[in-house]
Amino acid sequence: MEIAQIVGIALVTAIMLLILRQEKPVMAVILSIVFSVVLFLFMIDKLASIIEVMTELTRRAGINYFFLSTLLKILGVAYLGEFTASICNDAGEQAVAKKVEFAAKIIIAVLALPILVAILESLLELMPG
């Protein structure tokens, strides 16, 4: 799906949401979720292409795959956290959205910890004494 198609579908969905929010707010939330899921499903192929390229570059560079997989997990948590928070915001649940964002940040920090430790260990090896 190209960007023009995405923009077109988004604009139609936005107009429908404006109308539905006044008449049937619950249906507006459902439409928003459906649009989000459909868009995400269309983007999965693009994401898979990015992952393939990054995996190939990592293999060619001889970099430990652990680091790439950790970075991909971090990106996944960030995207899913933002995606879910946006849906919660659309549903009028800002408090839930903030908690999802907070949880995603904690999970990202935990996932990043092994990389941080590896960097610090490398720095310690370089320091004299």
Q: From the CB of residue 19, how many other CB atoms can be counted at a distance below 10 Å?
A: 11
> Residue 27 falls within a domain, yes or no?
no
> Residue 57 falls within a domain, yes or no?
no
Instruction: Summarize the confidence of residues 101-128 as an average pLDDT.
Output: 93
> Residue 69 falls within a domain, yes or no?
yes
> Residue 108 falls within a domain, yes or no?
yes
pLDDT tens digits for range 92-107: 899 999 999 999 999 9
Q: Tell me how many domains the chain contains.
A: 1
Split at pLDDT 50, 70, 90, the class of 63 is confident
Q: From the CB of residue 106, how many other CB atoms can be counted at a distance below 10 Å?
A: 11
Mean of per-residue pLDDT scores for the chain: 91
> Residue 118 falls within a domain, yes or no?
yes
Range of the domain at 125: 64-129
> Residue 37 falls within a domain, yes or no?
no
- The pLDDT of residue 92 is 87
pLDDT tens digits for range 24-61: 988 998 998 899 889 988 889 998 999 899 999 999 98
Please say whether the dihedral angle defined by the alpha carbons of residues 78, 80, 83 and 84, taken in this order, is positive or negative: negative
Residue type, 68: L
> Residue 43 falls within a domain, yes or no?
no
Split at pLDDT 50, 70, 90, the class of 78 is very high
The strand ranges marked E within 41-92 are none
- The pLDDT of residue 129 is 66
Instruction: Summarize the confidence of residues 71-87 as an average pLDDT.
Output: 93
> Residue 115 falls within a domain, yes or no?
yes
